[in-house]
Amino acid sequence: MNIYGIKAIYLFEMERTWRTLMQSIASPVLSTSLYFIVFGSAIGSRMANIDGVSYGAFIVPGLIMLSLLTESISNASFGIYMPKFTGTIYEILSAPISAVETVIGYVGAAATKSVIIGTIILVTARLFVDFSIQHPVWMVAFLLLTAITFSLFGFIIGVWADSFQKLQVIPLMIVTPLAFLGGSFYSINMLPPFWQKIALLNPVVYLVSGFRWSFYGVSDVDVGISLGMTFLFMLICLAAVWWIFRTGYKIKA
């Protein structure tokens, strides 16, 4: 294992974050804080409890997960797209570093940035609403697993995209709608039976449900199923990344 190669990629990506601190960290934290102010403090105080949890507290896990998904994808996709765009990807391919080490460097940095943002949002949420964390170990586990999984997904998007427009298509047109319809602001049990079944086709439902369970012990889907679905998506992403490096898809061509 080439530790120095992994460290070089990881530190380079992290350094880019510190150079663009306002855009990388301050902007998503500020945007999410506005959700807490509007939905948590203003609107939430006028809404009934959901599963015994106040509405303001109920949306905390969903908003953290929403930010985690979007930031993981954005960080990882932009991180691998820029070397392709500038041509420096060939320096990485010719260096004595394997595909596994390259992925660890890029995905590790993207996941780290996402976890930092998620942690800051978690602390910031305390300023607006009261909430508890019944299963802190599982909360951290879901946080890390989701950050790694969607950083892998973002890496795939970054390899696939051949323009800045394509880099934004999947996050804006697919991931964001799925995140909003995945129970971030409501429980899918509030939907009619037919739409509850449709909602179960949304992979984000399992992420939000499992993460919310770690806070309050309530969930729309069994926590074991949520964990299994997350692992399944991660394995699919790993298989796609393996295929990319195996065939050189849009990297060596």
- Which amino acid does the sequence have at 185? F
Lowest mean pLDDT among 109-113, 133-137, 173-177: 173-177
SS3 content of the chain, % helix, strand, coil (to 5): 80, 0, 20
Euclidean distance between CA atoms 235 and 249, whole angstroms: 19
**Which band of pLDDT confidence, cut at 50, 70 and 90, is reported for residue 18?**
confident
**Which band of pLDDT confidence, cut at 50, 70 and 90, is reported for residue 133?**
very high
Using CB atoms within 10 A of its CB, is residue 86 exposed (0-12), middle (13-18) or buried (19+)? exposed
For residue 36, pLDDT over 80 is answered with no
Domain annotation covers residue 181:
yes
DSSP, collapsed to helix, strand or coil, labels residue 196 as helix
Q: Are 178 and 99 in contact (CB under 8 A)?
A: no
Buried b / exposed e over 48-71, threshold 16 CB at 10 Å, is: eebeebbbbbbbbbbbbbbbbbbb
Check residue 21 and give its pLDDT: 65
3-state SS track over 16-30? HHHHCHHHHHHHHHH
Check residue 1 and give its pLDDT: 77
Q: pLDDT (tens digit, 9 = 90+) per residue, 89-115?
A: 888 878 888 889 999 999 999 999 999
For residue 118, pLDDT over 70 is answered with yes
Specify the number of domains making up the chain. Answer: 1
Domain annotation covers residue 253:
no
Euclidean distance between CA atoms 183 and 87, whole angstroms: 41
For residue 148, pLDDT over 90 is answered with yes
Check residue 92 and give its pLDDT: 84
Q: Are 146 and 230 in contact (CB under 8 A)?
A: yes
For residue 42, pLDDT over 80 is answered with no
For residue 234, pLDDT over 90 is answered with yes
Domain annotation covers residue 252:
no
Euclidean distance between CA atoms 9 and 19, whole angstroms: 16
The domain of 97 spans 3-247
Domain annotation covers residue 196:
yes
Domain annotation covers residue 57:
yes
Distance of alpha carbon 141 from the chain centroid? 13
Q: Are 153 and 234 in contact (CB under 8 A)?
A: no
Name the most confidently modeled range: 21-25, 57-61, 136-140.
Answer: 136-140
Check residue 44 and give its pLDDT: 60
DSSP, collapsed to helix, strand or coil, labels residue 50 as strand
